[in-house]
């Protein structure tokens, strides 16, 4: 009977909801048992020891001999670095929790690379500038307010956990912006454009939130 089918569907939804809530509850209880403050984990996230691989498109075939990093837009002079030139810039390290929009979090990840500020401080930026659009291989882009982009901890990372980045994690260089959902930490980064207004990137044009604060659960349009 239609009524019975509707009842079964509703029971199924409630059961799945309870199973999901139970999973997240167990995940946080496991953190407490390990002496980890569960407040480090945003709402709707679970902690994993793995490093899941998620991206749009295929892993690019990178040739460091022709690789470059470029900055344009609202700057007095456009900048370009070869791989050797970029690698010679100031270096820094970062230990941070990261949070994927697909609901996994990974704690205490370790990165090394060039601080974003080391690049930014070489630019003569127009005072009207408010945002950047970060560029990567295959035309991938992501938008960030300048204040979020130039935070002291942010890196253009070439190393993860003491080893060069794996190709699927962004080799040879990826942006790491740990306080936002990790799609903003662009893999295979090649540069950025300085803008005087916000401009949606690839995932933002396809329904993701323009900002992406994990602790506010800003996953999608309207969140």
Domains of the chain (ranges; CATH) run 1-40 (no CATH), 52-216 (3.90.420.10)
Q: pLDDT digits over 199-221, tens only? A: 999 999 999 999 999 999 999 99
Q: Residue range 163-188: average pLDDT?
A: 97
Average pLDDT over residues 40-54: 90
28 touches 41 (CB < 8 A): yes
pTM: 0.86
Long-range pairs for 210-215: beta carbons < 8 A, 24 or more residues apart: 210/143, 211/145, 211/180, 212/101, 212/180, 212/181, 212/183, 212/184, 213/179, 213/180, 213/181, 214/42, 214/45, 214/99, 214/105, 214/179, 214/180, 214/181, 215/42, 215/43
**pLDDT per position as a tens digit, 78-120:** 999 999 999 999 999 999 999 999 999 999 999 999 999 999 9
Q: Which tokens belong to 110? A: 């370790």
The overall average pLDDT reported for the chain is 91
Position 7 scores a pLDDT of 37
Identify the pLDDT of residue 14.
39
Separation between Cα atoms, residue 94 and residue 180, nearest integer Å: 15
């Amino acid at each position: 009977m239609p009524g019975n089918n509707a009842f079964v569907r509703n029971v199924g939804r409630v059961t799945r909801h309870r199973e999901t809530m139970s999973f997240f509850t167990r995940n946080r209880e496991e953190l407490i048992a390990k002496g980890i403050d569960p407040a480090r984990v945003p709402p709707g996230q679970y902690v994993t020891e793995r490093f899941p691989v998620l991206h749009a498109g295929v892993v690019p075939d990178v040739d460091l001999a022709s690789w470059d990093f470029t900055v344009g837009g609202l700057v007095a002079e456009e900048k370009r670095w070869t791989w050797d030139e970029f690698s010679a810039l100031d270096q820094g390290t970062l230990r941070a929790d990261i949070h994927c929009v697909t609901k996994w979090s990974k704690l205490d990840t370790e990165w090394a690379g060039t601080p974003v500020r080391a690049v930014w401080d070489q630019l003569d930026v127009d005072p009207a500038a408010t945002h950047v659009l970060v560029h990567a291989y295959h035309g991938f882009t992501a938008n960030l307010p300048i204040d979020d982009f130039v935070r002291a901890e942010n890196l253009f990372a070439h190393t993860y956990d003491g080893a060069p980045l794996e190709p699927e994690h962004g080799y040879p260089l990826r942006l790491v912006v740990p306080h936002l959902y990790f799609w903003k930490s662009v893999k295979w980064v090649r540069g950025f454009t300085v803008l005087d207004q916000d401009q949606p990137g690839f995932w933002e044009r396809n329904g993701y939130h323009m900002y992406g604060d994990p602790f506010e659960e800003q996953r999608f349009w309207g969140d």
